[in-house]
Structure 1
Amino acid sequence: MTQAREGVLDDATVERRLKEELPHWRLEDGWIRRTYKTASWKSTLMVINTVGHLAEAAWHHPDLTASYAWVEVRLMNHAAKGITEKDFSLAKKIEEVVGWQPGTEGGALEGTPSDPRFAYIKYDK
């Protein structure tokens, strides 16, 4: 999979697009970042595996930092040495999948129970 080097977006463009498209993400130290708060280590591992699956399928790999009840995802196109469209596309897919709350949609998929024993992600309001 060889592609031409992608164009790097300037910081002002990245900041504007984050505000408009990915409000829970931020630009910091040359990366776009998002911290997901989880309910436990089990939930943290589920988020890590989800991000890993999406990244591998997209052939674009984030840096991750994790602790007991949180995961930080950092995206920057290593080949381009900056933020590109690829970073925004993967961030949107991660946000869509990790933030999915089936219980709010109705239908057969009810989502996790409110019981703390089954807690998963601490969803943004």
Structure 2
Amino acid sequence: MSERREGVLDDAVIVERLKAELPHWRYEEGWIRRTYKTAGWKSTLMVINTVGHLAEAAWHHPDLTASYAWVEVRLMNHAAKGVTEKDFALARKIEEVVDWQPGTEGGALEGTPTDPRFAYIKHDR
């Protein structure tokens, strides 16, 4: 049995917490991961920049892979060599900001128009 570093969460705990807290995220190969589908390259770059800003502000840096209409975010605490509370905290913030839909909240912010020319994120809901 390999020794776990302090603060690294157990695999079973990670899987259960993802189900409960971040249902669109998954646990694979030692990372928690989420793929965001976008409407195209412009939207992909906006997601990358948003994740980059949040990660830099948190001083916790994800790995990203992107293509024309998707971005995959992978989180693992590099120093701890495993998934920690930091990863869950950053994943929650990324999910909150990237998946934000002001048009569904009411109020002054109307959200992205339904016109495909202005499409942004393909929400999972």
Q: Quickly name the TM-score band, shorter chain normalised.
A: over 0.9
Match of 1:108 in 2: 108
Q: Does 1:57 align with 2:77?
A: no
TM-score by length of 1: 0.95
Q: Distance in 2 between matches of 1:119 and 1:40?
A: 8
Q: Does 1:24 align with 2:39?
A: no
Match of 2:86 in 1: 86
Matches within 5 A, 1:1-16: 7-16=7-16
Shift of 1:76: 0.1
Superposition RMSD on alpha carbons, in Å? 0.9
Match of 2:72 in 1: 72
Amino acid at match of 1:36: Y
Shift of 1:6: 5.2
Amino acid at match of 2:52: G
Q: Does 1:36 align with 2:58?
A: no
Amino acid at match of 2:78: H
- Name stretches of at least 5 consecutive residues in structure 2 with no aligned partner: none
TM-score by length of 2: 0.95
Where do 4+ consecutive residues of structure 1 move more than 2 Å? Answer: none
Match of 1:119 in 2: 119
Structure 2 counterpart SS, 1:71: strand
